[in-house]
């Protein structure tokens, strides 16, 4: 179907969002990131799967820490 509306590609949308973020001052960037974290935390608290999300988040953080430790132990001189 040929629609008269042209939607931007996903890559174009990402490029625009990156350009907007890069145009922010360092303080504005921090505020934006904090806002995103706060929104995610709120969604996790209100989710019916909140317990799973907490356990999953802790598990992912532990896996990331272990990956860093493994990398350091393999490549430390």
Residue 24 CA to residue 36 CA, distance in Å, equals: 15
Close Cβ partners of 47 (under 8 Å, ≥ 6 residues apart): 53
Enter the pTM of the model.
0.57
3 within some domain: no
pLDDT in tens, 6-47: 888 999 999 999 999 999 999 999 999 999 999 989 998 899
Helix locations, the chain, DSSP H: 10-22, 26-46, 50-75
Under the banding of pLDDT at 50, 70 and 90, the label for residue 76 is confident
4 within some domain: no
Looking at the fold, whether 57 and 30 belong to one and the same domain comes out as no
Looking at the fold, whether 52 and 40 belong to one and the same domain comes out as no
Residue 6 CA to residue 31 CA, distance in Å, equals: 33
2 within some domain: no
Looking at the fold, whether 55 and 77 belong to one and the same domain comes out as yes
What is the predicted pLDDT for the residue at 7?
86
Looking at the fold, whether 19 and 38 belong to one and the same domain comes out as yes
Q: What range does the domain containing 71 cover?
A: 48-77
Looking at the fold, whether 15 and 34 belong to one and the same domain comes out as yes
Q: How many domains does the chain have?
A: 2
Looking at the fold, whether 58 and 77 belong to one and the same domain comes out as yes
pLDDT in tens, 41-62: 999 889 999 999 889 999 999 9
């Amino acid at each position: 179907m040929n629609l008269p509306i042209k939607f931007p590609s996903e890559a174009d949308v990402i490029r625009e969002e990156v350009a907007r973020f890069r145009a922010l001052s360092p303080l504005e960037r921090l505020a934006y990131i904090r806002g995103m974290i706060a929104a995610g935390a709120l969604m996790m608290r209100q989710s019916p799967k909140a317990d799973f999300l907490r356990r999953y988040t802790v598990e992912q953080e532990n896996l990331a820490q272990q990956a860093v430790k493994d990398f350091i132990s393999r490549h430390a001189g």
